[in-house]
Amino acid sequence: MKSYPAQLMENLNARKRAAGLTSAHTTVDIARLEIPESEQLDALARETVHTIQQGLPKSFPEIYVKLDWVPWRTWSRGGRYQGEWRSRLNDHEMTTGPGINLAMHRRLRNAAVGTVAEYKHLSKFGDVGDFHVDGPEDSVVLVVLHEVAHAIDHTSQAQKAASISLFGNRLVLPQRSEPKPHGIRFIRIYSALRTEFDRVDNSRTLTSDLADELLDRVERWSRVPDDVDEWAKDPLRYTRERRRRKQKTRREQTRGDAL
Ligand SMILES: [Zn+2]
Protein backbone atom coordinates (compact mmCIF):
# COMPACT_ATOMS: atom_id res chain seq x y z
CA MET A 1 0.00 0.00 0.00
CA LYS A 2 1.19 3.47 -0.85
CA SER A 3 2.12 5.96 1.84
CA TYR A 4 -0.62 8.38 2.79
CA PRO A 5 0.72 11.52 1.04
CA ALA A 6 1.44 9.59 -2.15
CA GLN A 7 -2.02 8.02 -2.12
CA LEU A 8 -3.56 11.42 -1.48
CA MET A 9 -1.72 12.96 -4.43
CA GLU A 10 -2.81 10.09 -6.64
CA ASN A 11 -6.45 10.55 -5.64
CA LEU A 12 -6.22 14.28 -6.23
CA ASN A 13 -4.59 13.79 -9.62
CA ALA A 14 -7.31 11.34 -10.62
CA ARG A 15 -9.93 13.89 -9.63
CA LYS A 16 -8.05 16.62 -11.44
CA ARG A 17 -8.03 14.56 -14.63
CA ALA A 18 -11.73 13.79 -14.24
CA ALA A 19 -12.46 17.49 -13.77
CA GLY A 20 -10.38 18.37 -16.83
CA LEU A 21 -7.74 20.26 -14.86
CA THR A 22 -4.08 20.22 -15.90
CA SER A 23 -0.91 20.59 -13.86
CA ALA A 24 -1.05 24.30 -14.63
CA HIS A 25 -3.95 24.65 -12.23
CA THR A 26 -3.23 25.98 -8.79
CA THR A 27 -3.59 24.53 -5.33
CA VAL A 28 -6.82 26.52 -5.08
CA ASP A 29 -8.44 24.38 -7.76
CA ILE A 30 -7.18 21.22 -6.09
CA ALA A 31 -8.53 22.27 -2.68
CA ARG A 32 -11.95 22.86 -4.22
CA LEU A 33 -12.08 19.34 -5.66
CA GLU A 34 -12.36 17.86 -2.21
CA ILE A 35 -15.36 19.98 -1.30
CA PRO A 36 -18.46 19.20 -3.35
CA GLU A 37 -20.40 22.19 -2.02
CA SER A 38 -17.61 24.65 -2.77
CA GLU A 39 -19.26 25.87 -5.94
CA GLN A 40 -22.57 26.63 -4.24
CA LEU A 41 -20.77 28.56 -1.52
CA ASP A 42 -18.75 30.48 -4.13
CA ALA A 43 -21.97 31.35 -5.94
CA LEU A 44 -23.59 32.47 -2.70
CA ALA A 45 -20.63 34.72 -1.83
CA ARG A 46 -20.67 36.31 -5.29
CA GLU A 47 -24.43 36.72 -5.21
CA THR A 48 -24.23 38.48 -1.83
CA VAL A 49 -21.56 40.89 -3.12
CA HIS A 50 -23.65 41.49 -6.27
CA THR A 51 -26.70 42.38 -4.17
CA ILE A 52 -24.65 44.87 -2.14
CA GLN A 53 -23.21 46.36 -5.33
CA GLN A 54 -26.80 46.99 -6.53
CA GLY A 55 -27.46 48.88 -3.30
CA LEU A 56 -24.44 51.17 -3.81
CA PRO A 57 -24.34 54.26 -6.05
CA LYS A 58 -23.67 53.50 -9.74
CA SER A 59 -20.42 55.48 -9.48
CA PHE A 60 -19.03 53.10 -6.83
CA PRO A 61 -16.30 50.91 -8.38
CA GLU A 62 -16.95 47.20 -8.83
CA ILE A 63 -16.04 45.14 -5.77
CA TYR A 64 -13.44 42.54 -6.68
CA VAL A 65 -13.98 39.07 -5.18
CA LYS A 66 -11.37 36.39 -4.54
CA LEU A 67 -12.52 33.14 -2.93
CA ASP A 68 -9.66 31.17 -1.47
CA TRP A 69 -10.18 27.45 -0.77
CA VAL A 70 -6.66 26.69 0.39
CA PRO A 71 -7.25 24.78 3.65
CA TRP A 72 -4.54 26.59 5.59
CA ARG A 73 -5.84 30.05 4.85
CA THR A 74 -7.54 31.26 8.04
CA TRP A 75 -7.89 35.01 7.54
CA SER A 76 -10.31 36.85 5.29
CA ARG A 77 -9.77 40.44 4.38
CA GLY A 78 -11.47 43.34 2.69
CA GLY A 79 -10.28 46.75 1.65
CA ARG A 80 -9.04 48.80 -1.22
CA TYR A 81 -6.42 46.97 -3.21
CA GLN A 82 -3.61 48.28 -5.36
CA GLY A 83 -3.23 46.90 -8.87
CA GLU A 84 0.00 45.07 -8.27
CA TRP A 85 -1.48 42.82 -5.59
CA ARG A 86 -4.41 41.91 -7.78
CA SER A 87 -2.47 41.30 -10.97
CA ARG A 88 0.12 39.06 -9.34
CA LEU A 89 -2.47 36.59 -8.08
CA ASN A 90 -5.11 36.73 -10.75
CA ASP A 91 -3.84 37.83 -14.16
CA HIS A 92 -6.13 40.80 -13.92
CA GLU A 93 -5.50 44.22 -15.34
CA MET A 94 -3.66 46.65 -13.14
CA THR A 95 -6.43 48.49 -11.43
CA THR A 96 -7.00 49.79 -7.95
CA GLY A 97 -10.29 49.23 -6.23
CA PRO A 98 -12.46 47.72 -3.53
CA GLY A 99 -11.99 44.02 -2.99
CA ILE A 100 -12.46 41.09 -0.66
CA ASN A 101 -10.46 37.90 -0.24
CA LEU A 102 -12.28 35.19 1.72
CA ALA A 103 -10.92 32.16 3.56
CA MET A 104 -13.63 29.80 2.31
CA HIS A 105 -12.37 26.52 3.76
CA ARG A 106 -12.65 27.97 7.25
CA ARG A 107 -16.38 28.48 6.75
CA LEU A 108 -16.76 24.69 6.68
CA ARG A 109 -14.62 23.93 9.71
CA ASN A 110 -14.71 26.37 12.62
CA ALA A 111 -17.55 28.55 11.59
CA ALA A 112 -20.14 26.18 10.14
CA VAL A 113 -22.55 26.00 13.08
CA GLY A 114 -22.42 28.03 16.26
CA THR A 115 -21.39 31.56 17.04
CA VAL A 116 -19.27 33.58 14.65
CA ALA A 117 -17.17 35.77 16.93
CA GLU A 118 -16.66 39.41 16.10
CA TYR A 119 -13.92 41.70 17.37
CA LYS A 120 -14.12 42.11 21.11
CA HIS A 121 -15.27 45.74 21.21
CA LEU A 122 -18.09 44.91 18.75
CA SER A 123 -19.00 41.50 20.10
CA LYS A 124 -21.91 42.44 22.38
CA PHE A 125 -23.89 44.67 20.00
CA GLY A 126 -26.87 43.14 18.20
CA ASP A 127 -26.11 44.64 14.78
CA VAL A 128 -22.31 44.28 14.55
CA GLY A 129 -21.53 41.66 17.22
CA ASP A 130 -21.26 37.89 17.63
CA PHE A 131 -23.92 36.09 15.66
CA HIS A 132 -25.32 32.57 15.65
CA VAL A 133 -25.04 30.75 12.32
CA ASP A 134 -26.84 27.57 11.27
CA GLY A 135 -24.41 26.35 8.63
CA PRO A 136 -21.74 27.20 6.06
CA GLU A 137 -24.17 29.34 3.99
CA ASP A 138 -24.94 31.58 6.97
CA SER A 139 -21.27 31.84 7.79
CA VAL A 140 -20.37 32.83 4.21
CA VAL A 141 -22.97 35.62 4.15
CA LEU A 142 -21.74 37.01 7.47
CA VAL A 143 -18.07 37.08 6.44
CA VAL A 144 -18.99 38.71 3.11
CA LEU A 145 -20.86 41.48 4.93
CA HIS A 146 -17.92 42.09 7.29
CA GLU A 147 -15.27 42.23 4.56
CA VAL A 148 -17.38 44.23 2.10
CA ALA A 149 -17.93 46.77 4.91
CA HIS A 150 -14.12 47.23 4.98
CA ALA A 151 -14.03 47.56 1.18
CA ILE A 152 -16.73 50.26 1.25
CA ASP A 153 -15.06 52.01 4.20
CA HIS A 154 -11.60 52.21 2.59
CA THR A 155 -12.94 53.18 -0.83
CA SER A 156 -15.14 55.95 0.56
CA GLN A 157 -12.14 57.17 2.61
CA ALA A 158 -10.02 57.31 -0.54
CA GLN A 159 -12.83 59.29 -2.21
CA LYS A 160 -12.92 61.56 0.87
CA ALA A 161 -16.65 60.87 1.12
CA ALA A 162 -18.34 62.01 4.34
CA SER A 163 -21.42 59.97 3.54
CA ILE A 164 -22.57 57.18 1.25
CA SER A 165 -25.89 55.97 -0.06
CA LEU A 166 -26.55 52.33 0.79
CA PHE A 167 -29.82 50.59 -0.12
CA GLY A 168 -31.51 53.96 -0.40
CA ASN A 169 -30.37 55.25 3.00
CA ARG A 170 -27.74 57.95 3.36
CA LEU A 171 -25.11 56.88 5.89
CA VAL A 172 -23.10 59.65 7.51
CA LEU A 173 -19.47 58.56 7.83
CA PRO A 174 -17.45 60.76 10.20
CA GLN A 175 -14.07 61.78 8.76
CA ARG A 176 -11.07 60.80 10.83
CA SER A 177 -7.43 61.72 10.34
CA GLU A 178 -6.40 58.28 11.58
CA PRO A 179 -9.38 56.01 11.03
CA LYS A 180 -9.45 52.74 12.96
CA PRO A 181 -9.96 49.49 10.98
CA HIS A 182 -13.02 48.56 13.05
CA GLY A 183 -13.90 52.12 14.00
CA ILE A 184 -17.00 54.23 13.69
CA ARG A 185 -17.12 54.34 9.87
CA PHE A 186 -16.80 50.56 9.61
CA ILE A 187 -19.43 50.10 12.34
CA ARG A 188 -21.96 52.34 10.53
CA ILE A 189 -21.52 50.47 7.23
CA TYR A 190 -21.42 46.96 8.71
CA SER A 191 -24.53 47.65 10.78
CA ALA A 192 -26.41 48.86 7.68
CA LEU A 193 -25.41 45.75 5.75
CA ARG A 194 -26.37 43.34 8.53
CA THR A 195 -29.70 45.10 8.92
CA GLU A 196 -30.37 44.84 5.17
CA PHE A 197 -29.56 41.11 5.20
CA ASP A 198 -31.53 40.46 8.38
CA ARG A 199 -28.54 39.46 10.52
CA VAL A 200 -29.42 41.44 13.64
CA ASP A 201 -30.10 40.31 17.20
CA ASN A 202 -32.71 42.82 18.33
CA SER A 203 -32.58 41.69 21.96
CA ARG A 204 -29.20 43.44 22.32
CA THR A 205 -28.11 47.06 22.11
CA LEU A 206 -27.78 48.25 18.51
CA THR A 207 -24.97 50.56 17.44
CA SER A 208 -27.44 52.14 15.00
CA ASP A 209 -29.23 53.56 18.08
CA LEU A 210 -26.04 55.12 19.47
CA ALA A 211 -24.87 58.68 18.78
CA ASP A 212 -21.48 59.23 17.11
CA GLU A 213 -19.90 60.40 20.36
CA LEU A 214 -20.70 57.08 22.05
CA LEU A 215 -19.36 55.09 19.10
CA ASP A 216 -16.20 57.17 19.33
CA ARG A 217 -15.81 55.74 22.79
CA VAL A 218 -16.58 52.18 21.62
CA GLU A 219 -13.81 52.28 19.00
CA ARG A 220 -11.31 53.28 21.72
CA TRP A 221 -12.36 50.63 24.24
CA SER A 222 -9.40 48.70 25.55
CA ARG A 223 -11.65 46.80 27.93
CA VAL A 224 -15.27 46.05 27.03
CA PRO A 225 -17.79 46.80 29.85
CA ASP A 226 -19.16 43.63 31.47
CA ASP A 227 -22.68 44.64 30.53
CA VAL A 228 -22.81 46.67 27.33
CA ASP A 229 -26.62 46.94 27.45
CA GLU A 230 -26.43 48.70 30.85
CA TRP A 231 -23.55 50.88 29.65
CA ALA A 232 -25.50 52.02 26.58
CA LYS A 233 -28.51 53.10 28.68
CA ASP A 234 -26.44 55.60 30.69
CA PRO A 235 -22.68 55.48 30.10
CA LEU A 236 -21.87 58.18 32.67
CA ARG A 237 -23.75 56.47 35.48
CA TYR A 238 -22.34 53.08 34.48
CA THR A 239 -18.74 54.33 34.67
CA ARG A 240 -19.39 56.15 37.96
CA GLU A 241 -20.89 53.07 39.59
CA ARG A 242 -18.12 50.83 38.37
CA ARG A 243 -15.55 53.19 39.88
CA ARG A 244 -17.49 53.25 43.15
CA ARG A 245 -17.65 49.44 43.29
CA LYS A 246 -13.92 49.20 42.61
CA GLN A 247 -13.11 51.63 45.44
CA LYS A 248 -15.36 49.70 47.81
CA THR A 249 -13.61 46.42 46.99
CA ARG A 250 -10.22 48.09 47.49
CA ARG A 251 -11.29 49.46 50.89
CA GLU A 252 -12.52 46.03 51.97
CA GLN A 253 -9.27 44.40 50.85
CA THR A 254 -7.24 46.99 52.80
CA ARG A 255 -9.33 46.32 55.89
CA GLY A 256 -8.85 42.57 55.46
CA ASP A 257 -5.08 42.97 55.24
CA ALA A 258 -5.01 44.92 58.54
CA LEU A 259 -6.56 42.09 60.52
ZN1 LIG B 1 -12.41 43.23 9.96
Question: In angstroms, what is the span from residue 140 Cα to ligand 1's centroid?
Answer: 14
pLDDT in the model for residue 33: 73
The CA distance from 135 to 126, in Å, is 19
Question: In angstroms, what is the span from residue 148 Cα to ligand 1's centroid?
Answer: 9
Q: Could you give the C-alpha distances from 93 to 77, 85, 86, 96, 254, in angstroms and in order?
A: 21, 11, 8, 9, 68
pLDDT in the model for residue 4: 42
- Where the chain has pLDDT below 70, the residues are 1-13, 15-16, 22-28, 30, 83-95, 109-112, 256-259
Question: In angstroms, what is the span from residue 86 Cα to ligand 1's centroid?
Answer: 20
pLDDT in the model for residue 179: 83
Question: In angstroms, what is the span from residue 154 Cα to ligand 1's centroid?
Answer: 12
pLDDT in the model for residue 37: 80
* Chain segment 136-160, per-residue pLDDT in tens: 888 999 999 999 999 999 999 999 9
pLDDT in the model for residue 249: 86
Question: In angstroms, what is the span from residue 8 Cα to ligand 1's centroid?
Answer: 35
The CA distance from 5 to 13, in Å, is 12
- pTM of the entire predicted model: 0.82
Other residues' Cβ atoms within 10 Å of the Cβ of residue 128:
31
Question: In angstroms, what is the span from residue 160 Cα to ligand 1's centroid?
Answer: 20
Question: In angstroms, what is the span from residue 150 Cα to ligand 1's centroid?
Answer: 7
3-state secondary structure 27-43: HHHHHHHCCCCHHHHHH
pLDDT in the model for residue 14: 73
The CA distance from 122 to 187, in Å, is 8
pLDDT in the model for residue 1: 43
